[in-house]
Amino acid sequence: MNNGFIINLIPGETFLHKLSGTTKVRLFFVLIIYLIMSFDIRLILPVFVAGLLGLFSLKTDVAALRYIIVFVVAMNILNIVLYYLANPHLGELYFGQETLWFQFTDHYIVTYEEVWFLMSRLLKMLATFLVSLVFILSITPSEMAAGLYNCGIPYKICTVVELAFRYIPDIYRDYQNIKVSMQARGVELDSRKAGVIKRLKQTILILIPLIITSFDRVGDISNAMDLRGFGKGRKRSYYSEHEATADDQKVKIVYLLIAVFDVLYIAAKIIYKIPEVWYPW
């Protein structure tokens, strides 16, 4: 998985790229709350479709993303299988009923409710993934900091997030280089050839140079920031943030509506005890 493709530092040209940082961050926040609050497939499906549309609207190089998409889908399916193995009676827990479909053993039965729950869960995970992917692809670290700042978060914390995103590709590249050069020196990381504890000990050999190179940067970066007067003022403005355009105003209506819906849904969930997962039968 190459992160160089995911975090972009240059703003793009499509509709989503051109929205201001504030709009993107707020839209992302309300959508994430929306996805966390519900396991309801009726609510998740529209966001999933919107996420797909958003991804295509970005006109990114899908071939470059193929690897991460395959990886995430495979991992989520694996997670679902592990979920099933951990507790095959989730249907009972959530819907209070079980309809047998077929069974492997006495404990490992497959019920329609269970399949429905796991499907909802998978869709929820994939929708969350799509929303995060579109968000990451459409935003630059600087815009993200500007957006967070406009949500009322102190600018020092925004800077932490911005710098972290800025340096992930660099640190990832260092990590790969150190890993490859250590493997060239005979460090065995293949799971077929070394046990877990052995691999863990080998990982230390990668970690130490990685930690040292990463934290050696801190002095340079902080000196450069200090020299430019970082942290002297109480407020901060962002070069990447622009005035709200007509598109921003339209999206603002959308995210405000979703925000209102979020609040109402959560309130309704607490007051009326709506079941966690919607099951039609």
Partner 1 sequence: MKEKTLIQKFLGTWNTKTIVGVAIGAALFGVLMNYGSIRVFTNTSLTTAMIVPVIVGALFGPLPAAAAAGIGNVIADLIGGWGFWFDWSIGNAVLGLFVGALPLYGAYIEDGIFELKHMIIYAVVVIVGTALAFGLVTPFFTYLWYGGELTITLYQGVVGSVSNIIVLLVAGIPVLKVLAARNAKASNLRRE
Nearest-angstrom CA–CA distance, 261 and 31: 11
Minimum Å distance from CB 32 to partner 1?
A: 6
Per CB under 8 A, which region of 54-62, 79-87, 234-242, 245-253 contacts partner 1?
Answer: 79-87
Of 76, 138, 140, 142, the one binding partner 1 by CB under 8 A: 76
Per CB under 8 A, 276 contacts partner 1: yes
Minimum Å distance from CB 98 to partner 1?
A: 16
Binders of partner 1 in range 156-185 (CB under 8 A): 156-157, 159-168, 171-172, 175
Give residue 44's identity as a one-letter amino acid code.
Answer: I
Of the pair 242, 265, the CB lying nearest partner 1 is at 265
Per CB under 8 A, 82 contacts partner 1: yes
Answer yes or no: are the C-beta atoms of 188 and 198 closer than 8 Å. yes
Size of the site for partner 1 (CB under 8 A): 69
Of 15, 231, 250, 263, the one binding partner 1 by CB under 8 A: 231
Nearest-angstrom CA–CA distance, 40 and 47: 12
User: H-type helices in 10-138, by residue range?
Assistant: 15-18, 21-37, 41-57, 62-86, 90-95, 112-138
Q: Which helix (H) or strand (E) holds 57?
A: helix 41-57
Nearest-angstrom CA–CA distance, 127 and 132: 9
Question: What angle in degrees, to the nearest 10, is found between the helix axes of 21-37 and 41-57?
Answer: 150
CA distances (Å), 40 to each of 37, 202, 236, in order? 9, 44, 41
Nearest-angstrom CA–CA distance, 4 and 130: 18
Per CB under 8 A, 197 contacts partner 1: yes
Closest CA to 34 of 139, 105, 124: 124
State the binding string over 102-141 for partner 1 (x if CB under 8 A, else -). ----------------------xx--xx--xx-xx-----
Per CB under 8 A, 271 contacts partner 1: no
Minimum Å distance from CB 277 to partner 1?
A: 9
Q: What are phi and psi of 110, to 5 degrees?
A: -110, 120
Give me the residues that bind partner 1 (CB under 8 A), please: 1, 3, 6-7, 32, 35-36, 68, 71-72, 75-76, 78-79, 82-83, 86-87, 93-94, 124-125, 128-129, 132-133, 135-136, 156-157, 159-168, 171-172, 175, 191, 196-197, 199-201, 203-204, 206-208, 210-212, 214-215, 217-219, 221-222, 225-226, 230-231, 276
